Amino acid sequence: MAKIVILGAGISGHTAAQYLRRWLSKKHEVVVVTPNTYYQWVPSNIWVGVGRMTPEQIRFKLGPKYQKWGIGYKQAKAVSIHPEGNKELEKGFVTIEYTGQDKEGQSEKVDYDFLINATGPKLNFAGTDGLGPGKNTVSVCTYTHAAEAWEKLRENFK
Ligand SMILES: Cc1cc2nc3c(=O)[nH]c(=O)nc-3n(C[C@H](O)[C@H](O)[C@H](O)COP(=O)(O)OP(=O)(O)OC[C@H]3O[C@@H](n4cnc5c(N)ncnc54)[C@H](O)[C@@H]3O)c2cc1C
C-alpha cells in the first residue's frame, strides 16, 4: 500500500488526483493538500473578467467531490518538505498549516511514499511598482481578481 500526497489542487494537482484515484486500487491512498476551498477552471476567468460568466460557473467545492471520489482532502498549505524524514518520522513528510476545516492555523505532519508538488506559480504583483489589483491594473489570474476586473470594466462603461 502506498500513500500519495499531492500539494495543490490547481489544474495539475487536481488532474493528478483524479487520474491516480481512477488508476490505483483502493488499497492505495491519495491525499490532496491545498489551501483553497474551491477548484477553479482558471482559463474561464477571462469570461468572469468581461461579465460573460460568474465565479460560481467556473468553480466547485473540493471537499464534497473528494469525499465522494475517495480522495483525502486537507484544506491547508504546505510550509516545508522533509524528503528524508527526521528523528521522529522515518518516512518523508510535509509540514502543513490548515487554512480551513475549522482547524485554521493548526500544524500537522503528513507522511508520504510519493509526493507530487503542484503548487503552481506565485503571483508577484509586488515585483512591479503600481501593478496589480487595487492599484493601477486589474488581473484575471484568480476568480476574485476577475470579478474585480468586471466591476472596473462596468465602471468604465458607465
Ligand atoms: C486568464 C487565464 C487564461 C488561461 N488560459 C489558458 C489556456 O487557454 N490554455 C492553457 O494551457 N493555459 C492557460 N492558462 C494558464 C493555466 O491556467 C496555468 O498554466 C495553470 O493554471 C497552471 O496550473 P498549476 O496546477 O501548475 O497551478 P495553479 O492552477 O496555479 O494551481 C496551484 C495550486 O497550488 C495551490 N498552492 C499554492 N501554494 C500551496 C502550498 N504551499 N501548499 C499547497 N497548495 C498550494 C494553489 O492554491 C492552487 O490550488 C491561463 C491562465 C489565465 C490566468
What is the predicted pLDDT for the residue at 52? 97
* Euclidean distance between the first and the last CA atom of the chain, given in angstroms as a whole number: 60
For the chain, how many structural domains are there in total?
1
Containing structural domain, residue 24: 3-157
CB of 147 closer than 8 Å to CB of 37? no
Reduce the DSSP state of residue 72 to 3 states and report it: strand
Residue pair 4/29 in contact by the 8 Å Cβ criterion: yes
CB-ligand 1 contact for 100 (6 Å cutoff): no
Which residues are paired to 29 by β-bridges?
3
CA of 11 to the centre of ligand 1 (A): 6
> Is the pLDDT at 112 greater than 90, yes or no?
yes
Read off the CATH number of the domain in which 17 is found: 3.50.50.100
Q: Which atom of ligand 1 is nearest to the CA of 142?
A: 53
User: Per-residue pLDDT tens for 17-59?
Assistant: 999 999 999 999 999 999 999 999 999 999 999 999 999 999 9
How do residues 57-76 score in pLDDT, each as one tens digit?
Answer: 999 999 999 999 999 999 99
Tell me the whole-structure pTM to 2 decimals: 0.93
Helix (H, G, I), strand (E, B) or coil at 59: strand
Q: Is the CB of 77 under 6 A from ligand 1?
A: yes
